[in-house]
Amino acid sequence: MKQQLKKYIHRYVDFSDAELDAFIAKMELIKLEKKKFILEEGEICHHQYFLLEGLVHTFYLDQDGNERTSSFALENWWFTSLESYIKQSPSFYSIQTIEPCVFLKIAKTDLDALFDTIPNLEKFFRLMAQNMVIALQRRTDIYQKMISKERYEYFRRNFPEFFQRVPQYLIASYLEITPEYLSSLRNSK
Amino acid sequence: MKQQLKKYIHRYVDFSDAELDAFIAKMELIKLEKKKFILEEGEICHHQYFLLEGLVHTFYLDQDGNERTSSFALENWWFTSLESYIKQSPSFYSIQTIEPCVFLKIAKTDLDALFDTIPNLEKFFRLMAQNMVIALQRRTDIYQKMISKERYEYFRRNFPEFFQRVPQYLIASYLEITPEYLSSLRNSK
DNA sequence: GGGATTCCTTAAAGTATCTTAAGAAAGAAT
DNA sequence: ATTCTTTCTTAAGATACTTTAAGGAATCCC
C-alpha cells in the first residue's frame, strides 16, 4: 500500500531506506466513500494528502451557492488546502471525494519535525511545490488564451481520464462555465 | 545592495552568515533600462532573479500577437520562467522590464550545487515556491469568481502601487480584458 | 419496480465582453 | 516647438456566455 508512495518519491529524490521509512511511518492510511468531505471550508487544514486510489476535488461556494472547482486530484497526486495548511488559517476551500478513495495523510507537526532531520524531504516538497506552480501557471494561461470551447477541447484531449470519471457539472465548474453551456458545446460539434 | 536580499531571506529562514555569504556570492548584479528583455520566448531560462528596484512583467504573445501578461514583479520579488528553468526547455514566456531595473540573478548550475551543501537553501526555495502556489491560487479564484469590473476593483484596492506604475494596457492584459473595455469600466463608475 | 434524487439537455432572452475603427492625449525624438 | 509614436478613450455592432425555466435521462434507495 505504502509501496506506491515510495515508488512515487523515488522518481524525484534519492532517499535512504531509513529516511523513507521515517517519513512513511508518520503517514496514516484513510479510506472514504464517495461524496465525503476531507476538509470543510472554514476549518484549518492540518494535513497534506497523497491519493492512492480514487478522485477528489477542491472547491468553494460562490455567492449564489454554486460549487466552484479549483482543482482535481487523481491517483498519485498530492493535495491539501495549501494556504490554510501553511498559515494554519481557516480554509477558503472544501475538499471532497468524488469517488471512493484511499489516501495517506501526514500532519503538519510531524512533517515540520521531519524537515529538520531529513534534508531530502525539504528537497522533495520543494519539487512538489514547484510542480504545482507549473501546473497552475499552465492552467492560468489556458484560461487566459482560450475561449470555453477551446478549453473544453484542450482538457478533453489532455486529460481524457477526467472526462470519463468526473460528472459534467463538475467539469463545467472547472472550465468556469455553466453546465448548460457545456452541454451545448458538447453537442454543437 | 545585497543587504536588501539578506534582509528578505531572514524573514523566512535562519541562515548562518557563512551560508548566506556563500549563496549571495553566486548572485550577480544587473541593471537594465525600461522595455528591455531579460528573457525572450523560446530561450532557455538559466537563472532565477531577485528584483531590487523597478518593475518587470512576464508575458507571451497570443495568436493575434497581443501581449498577455501572466505576472508582474515588484521590488523584493523573485521571478523566473519556472517551467523553462526547471526543465531547461524553451520558455513559453518573455520577461521584460517595464521600468528601469536593478536585480540580482543566480544561475541554475550554481544554485543546484548550493542546494547540496546548504540544506537551509532548500527550505528557503521551498517556502518561495509555496508562496507562489498560494498567490497563483488566489489569482485563479479571483478570476473564477469575479466579473471584470469586480476584478478591476479588487486589484485596484489591493495593489494600488501597480495601478500607478503600470500602463493601462498591461493592466488590461493582466485582468484578461481588452484595453478598450478597461477604459470603459474605469469611466462608467 | 417505482418513486425520489441527481444529473444532463434544450431553447429563448438577456448581459458581459470583444472587435473594429477612429480620434484625443500624452510622451519621446528630432 | 513640431513631429512621430505610443497609449487611452469613445461608440456601434457582433459574439460568447449566462440566466431561467422546463423536460428527459440516469442513478439511488426502500
Mean pLDDT for the stretch of residues A62-83 = 91
pLDDT grade for B189, boundaries at 50, 70 and 90:
low
Identity of the residue numbered A142:
I
What's the pLDDT score for residue B153? 92
- Percent of residues, chain B, with pLDDT higher than 90: 83
pLDDT grade for B176, boundaries at 50, 70 and 90:
very high
CB-CB contact of B51 with B76 (8 Å): yes
Nearest to A15 by CA among A132, A119, A105: A119
- The radius of gyration of chain A from alpha carbons, rounded to an integer in Å, stands at 18
Nearest to A76 by CA among A44, A61, A54: A54
Q: How far is C-alpha B139 from the chain's CA centre?
A: 14
What's the pLDDT score for residue B2? 79
Judge whether residue A93 has pLDDT over 80.
yes
Could you tell me the distance in Å between the CA of residue B59 and the C1' of nucleotide C19?
Answer: 22
Chain B residues whose CB is inside 8 A of the A63 CB are 145
Q: How far is C-alpha A149 from the chain's CA centre?
A: 24
- Percent of residues, chain A, with pLDDT higher than 90: 85
Q: Would you list which residues of chain B are within 8 Å, Cβ to Cβ, of chain A?
A: 60, 62-63, 68, 70, 82-83, 86, 92, 115, 119, 122-123, 125-126, 129-130, 132-134, 136-141, 143-145, 176
Mean pLDDT for the stretch of residues A128-144 = 93
Judge whether residue B21 has pLDDT over 90.
yes
DSSP character string of B21-34: HHHHHT-EEEEE-T
Find residue A90's DSSP bridge partners: A44
Judge whether residue A66 has pLDDT over 80.
yes
Q: Are strands B37-39 and B67-73 parallel, antiparallel or unpaired?
A: unpaired
Mean pLDDT for the stretch of residues A13-41 = 93
Judge whether residue B63 has pLDDT over 80.
no
Could you tell me the distance in Å between the CA of residue A168 and the C1' of nucleotide C1?
Answer: 28
- Closest residue in B to A64 (Cα) is B145
Mean pLDDT for the stretch of residues A8-31 = 94
Mean pLDDT for the stretch of residues B25-30 = 96
- Closest residue in A to B70 (Cα) is A141
Count Cα atoms within 13 angstroms, Cβ side, for A40.
3
Dihedrals φ, ψ of B38, to 5°? -90, -35
What's the pLDDT score for residue B22? 95
pLDDT grade for A70, boundaries at 50, 70 and 90:
very high
Strand order through the sheet with A56-61: A37-39, A94-97, A56-61, A67-73
What's the pLDDT score for residue B77? 94
Q: What is the pLDDT of residues B72-107, one digit of tens each?
A: 999 999 999 999 999 999 999 999 999 999 999 999
What's the pLDDT score for residue B115? 95
Judge whether residue B112 has pLDDT over 70.
yes
Task: For residue A139, give the nearest of B129, B140, B145 by CB distance.
Answer: B140
Mean pLDDT for the stretch of residues A108-125 = 95
Task: For residue B129, give the nearest of A119, A130, A176 by CB distance.
Answer: A130
> Hunting for cell 484542450 — which residue is that?
A154
DSSP character string of A12-29: T----HHHHHHHHHT-EE
d(CA A182, CA A48): 33
Mean pLDDT for the stretch of residues B142-158 = 90
Domain ranges of chain B: 3-116
As a CATH number, domain B3-116 is: 2.60.120.10
